[in-house]
C-alpha cells in the first residue's frame, strides 16, 4: 500500500519550520512535506504574493514537484487553513482530490470577524494584536530590525486572509478534521466548519490558544496518524 504525502501550509508570517517537530512524530507511512509561501522561510528572497490566486498557483507548483498520482492530504494552520480551503477546490478543478483535509486554528472563510487584525492598523497596534495571538519568538519581538522585516510579511499574509473570505460555504466532499485550541477566542465558532462538510467532520479541541500545536505536537500527530 502506498503511503500518504501530507502537504502542510503555514500560518501568517510563518514558515515550514513550524512543522518540523510534527514530521518526526508521524507514522512511517505519512510523509510530511511542509511548504513555504514566497517571501517566507527558505524562500525569503522571493516576492510576496499579493493575490490569493497567485498563492494557490505557487502552492500547486510546489506540490506538482511531488507525485500527486499517489494519495495525499493537506493540513493548513491559521492562514494555512484558509489557503487549504481554497486549494481543495483549486485541485478539484484539475482532477485532483486529497484523501483528507486538516484545518487548524482558524474558522472557515465564510465566518466573518474571526479575530484577524486589520492590515491597515498602524505598526504598533498591528503588532500588538498579532503578538496577542502568540507564536512570535522573543528574538523577533526584541529586535526592531527583525520586526521591520516581518511586519510587511505579516501584513501581506493578513491581506491574503481577507481575500480568502467567502459568503457561502462550498462542499468539501472528503473527510476533514478540524483542530483548535480551547482557549482561542474563536473556539466557539469552530463547529461552523461542519457546514461545508460533504463527508465526516471531526472536531478536535486541544488545550491552549491560537498556537496550541506548539505544546501538542504529539497529540496532533496522533490525530493525523489515526485519520490517515
> CATH number of the domain that 196 lies in?
3.40.50.1820
Check residue 143 and give its pLDDT: 66
Alpha helices, H only, 6-137: 20-23, 52-64, 79-93, 123-132
Predicted model pTM: 0.92
Domain count, the chain: 1
Which residue range is the domain that position 201 belongs to?
A: 4-227
Contacts of 214 by beta carbon, 8 Å cutoff, 6+ apart: 134, 135, 208
- In whole angstroms, give the CA distance from residue 6 to residue 147: 31
Check residue 2 and give its pLDDT: 66
Contact of 186 with 107, CB cutoff 8 Å: yes
Alpha-carbon separation of residue 208 from 10, 168, 185, 192, 201 (angstroms): 18, 30, 11, 20, 21
For the chain, the average pLDDT equals 90
Residue 176 per-residue DSSP state: E
pLDDT band at 29; cut points 50, 70, 90: very high
Contact of 179 with 104, CB cutoff 8 Å: yes
| Helix or strand run (H / E) with residue 177 | strand 175-181
* Number of C-beta neighbours around residue 122 at 10 A: 8
Across the range 137-146, mean pLDDT stands at 64
Q: How do 30-34 and 72-77 pair as beta strands?
A: unpaired
Across the range 53-75, mean pLDDT stands at 95
pLDDT digits (tens, 9 = 90+) for 85-119: 999 999 999 999 999 999 999 999 999 866 677 77
Contacts of 227 by beta carbon, 8 Å cutoff, 6+ apart: 73, 100, 102, 175, 177, 202
Contacts of 222 by beta carbon, 8 Å cutoff, 6+ apart: none
Amino acid at each position: 500500500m502506498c503511503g500518504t504525502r501530507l502537504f502542510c501550509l503555514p500560518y501568517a508570517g510563518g514558515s515550514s519550520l513550524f512543522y518540523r517537530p510534527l514530521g518526526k512524530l508521524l507514522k512511517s507511512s505519512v510523509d510530511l512535506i511542509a511548504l513555504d509561501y514566497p517571501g517566507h522561510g527558505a524562500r525569503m528572497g522571493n516576492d510576496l504574493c499579493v493575490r490569493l490566486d497567485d498563492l494557490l498557483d505557487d502552492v500547486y507548483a510546489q506540490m506538482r514537484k511531488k507525485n500527486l498520482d499517489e494519495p495525499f492530504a493537506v493540513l493548513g494552520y491559521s492562514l494555512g487553513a484558509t489557503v487549504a480551503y481554497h486549494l481543495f477546490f483549486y485541485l478539484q478543478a484539475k482532477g485532483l482530490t486529497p484523501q483528507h483535509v486538516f484545518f487548524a486554528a482558524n474558522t472557515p472563510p465564510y465566518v466573518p470577524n474571526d479575530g484577524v487584525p486589520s492590515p491597515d492598523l498602524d505598526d504598533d497596534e498591528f503588532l500588538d494584536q498579532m503578538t496577542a495571538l502568540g507564536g512570535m519568538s522573543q528574538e523577533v519581538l526584541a529586535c526592531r530590525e527583525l520586526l521591520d522585516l516581518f511586519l510587511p510579511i505579516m501584513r501581506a499574509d493578513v491581506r491574503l486572509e481577507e481575500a480568502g473570505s467567502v459568503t457561502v460555504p462550498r462542499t468539501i466532499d472528503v473527510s476533514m478534521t478540524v483542530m483548535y485550541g480551547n482557549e482561542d477566542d474563536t473556539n466557539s465558532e469552530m463547529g461552523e466548519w461542519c457546514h461545508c462538510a460533504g463527508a465526516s467532520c471531526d472536531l478536535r479541541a486541544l488545550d491552549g490558544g491560537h498556537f496550541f500545536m506548539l505544546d501538542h505536537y504529539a497529540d496532533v500527530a496522533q490525530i493525523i496518524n489515526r485519520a490517515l
